[in-house]
Chains A and B, each alone.
Chain A
């Protein structure tokens, strides 16, 4: 890995008897979108507060682009963009005035600030409503402006703490698209969520946390490999499923084939994407027509279930 944008090493925090964060270590590479996945109360927000320098830590180190981030010091703060879980905006101000306020805190002013604000409003799709008071925005619009305020100064690392909590699917999708675009633009993103599908959709690597501990870390495939899960291919065929099953057994990568009815097969394979062309060819040679074919990769949900012994709770 190139020199990481974010390096978190041995982070610990306790509140009385509660060990909120316990020896948390991970890195985020330049341009990477990294996910911290865990249920509410897992320690994600506490971890983020320490990473941003907002909360004293019991132990551990945080560096952003080699600059140590410490509570009580503003060194390196301009490298970080922070999007808190709550809507941390001033409702009486317009969307634009909110951004002007936060831009000034990062030293942006004049034409530069205006250009950044216009650009950011465009990214989050709020240009048309920029002059309206935030109190008149829908929940989704407020969430988008909340993100805009964090990315306004073009930080090297954008930290988003559950940015899609409590909003409608349309706004959620808009936010996920905006975050994906940020990742593609080269910005490093630390994204916390308790939604599996968001982590799977946005993040190259995911850290699974619960009870303050990092339980597993890796790409989705690496995590899936940890729990010995396989891709599942469901095929509806013309003709006899038994003949089709016999043909599929001839492929080494096929681990298991089950006929669920006369015309439907379920195959467990190691990697569906690389096998599919040969699988289709084999069925064709066996004279079996394909009516429908679906691939289901193992989900982080099953990984979480396997690692923690419980399903991901809200």
Chain B
């Protein structure tokens, strides 16, 4: 007599192999989410703002210093801009016109004006250059006022030297974005996570719902006529769903990270979210299998459940900010808690930040899955 583990493995492996060869399973688990996330991530992420070439002509020392030590320095540090210094405005204009630089900033010799040169084909670079210039102008203005005030109060120092000291000492206040949702994950990761969890609920149906197919085809009766307890059949089907879910989610995490630049956060935290998310999805499909009478009905119910949970859960757009019942309802879905886990890991938080969302996902799995497994067990014995 074979051991229970051997039975479960035999049942699991046959089904899992068949699913991997099944085109519809591959489409729902891999191809469709990958295609959608690719398209959507380009739509939501906007233009790439990395290493924009900007030229600078610094004719006035204090203003140039304010410019280079202030916003330009920080934008260079985070690789938003690549700054090149030019000797004269004419050379910079030519570079901008030719496209060698996407924008230019010219500080006039008298220090009284900052000219922004933009390339019509690079509006984002122009906007950044203008913002940088305005910020610099404000700094210069402040320094000028401080020098004037110093002299009015009887200061005897060299105004030029005082201005340079003030610029060097300038320490911009920290800017904190306190608007609601400012801690959201980046758009590409959000789209990838939304599509991954949305299609997850379609993917997992290929395991547990197979019970209904096998019952109709007669193979379930044949298996149960062998010395194989019903629970081993149920466990094998649950494992198939679980494995397919992991394959789909794992692929989406890898695909979006490597090819689309998504940043899911701490790998251990992501792994915990994926496992608990897949558990919630398998629990859902178990309940559907237990309630449906035949494979067609189960497929239709599961599609409806996946669609509703996906929309309410924020797979396409967040319902949390809608307020009222929508905000309340979205928290009942695994999709919301999966996304919430990713949000809580933004800003370099480690895996412990996902404890709450993981607990919520597992609670959902228990509430839905326990009756689901009981009902699915009845399907086997029916």
Contacts and interface: CB of A to CB of B under 8 A. Distances in A.
Contacts of B229: 74
Nearest to A104: B10
Contact of B224 (A54, A85, A102, A149): A54
B380 to A, nearest CB: 10
A82 interface: yes
Contact of A88 (B14, B18, B222, B381): B222
B11 to A, nearest CB: 8
Nearest to A109: B2
Interface string A72-102: 1010011010101111111011000000011
Contacts of A89: 219
A120 to B, nearest CB: 15
B227 A78 contact: yes
Nearest to B18: A92
A149 B222 contact: yes
B222 A107 contact: no
B226 interface: yes
B39 interface: no
Contacts of B21: 92
B18 A90 contact: yes
B223 interface: yes
Contacts of B230: 72
B6 to A, nearest CB: 7
A48 to B, nearest CB: 10
A71 interface: yes
A52 B225 CA distance: 6
A106 B219 contact: no
B148 interface: no
A105 interface: yes
B218 interface: yes
Nearest to A84: B218
B217 interface: yes
Contacts of A82: 221-222, 225
B221 A54 contact: yes
Given A77-B225, A105-B223, A106-B226, A88 B218 contact: yes
Nearest to B21: A92
A38 interface: no
Contacts of A54: 221, 224-225
Contact of A105 (B10, B18, B221): B10
A219 interface: no
B43 to A, nearest CB: 38
B2 A107 contact: yes
Nearest to B10: A104
A80 B221 CA distance: 13
Contacts of B7: 104-105
Contacts of B221: 49, 52, 54, 82, 84, 88
A74 B228 contact: yes
A90 to B, nearest CB: 7
Interface in B223-254: 223-230
A105 B218 contact: no
Contacts of B222: 82, 84, 88, 102, 149-150
B1 interface: yes
Contact of A53 (B6, B11, B219, B225): B225
Contacts of B218: 84-88
Contact of B226 (A49, A77, A90, A93): A77
Interface of B: 1-2, 6-7, 10-11, 14, 18, 21, 217-219, 221-230, 381
23 contacts: A53-B225, A54-B221, A54-B224, A56-B381, A74-B227, A77-B225, A77-B227, A78-B226, A84-B222, A86-B217, A86-B218, A87-B218, A90-B18, A92-B21, A93-B18, A101-B14, A105-B2, A105-B223, A105-B228, A106-B226, A107-B1, A107-B6, A107-B227
Given A54-B225, A106-B227, A107-B6, 12 more contacts: A77-B225, A77-B226, A78-B227, A80-B225, A84-B222, A85-B218, A86-B218, A88-B218, A88-B221, A105-B7, A105-B228, A106-B226
Interface of A: 49, 52-54, 56, 71-72, 74, 77-78, 80, 82, 84-90, 92-93, 101-102, 104-107, 109, 149-150
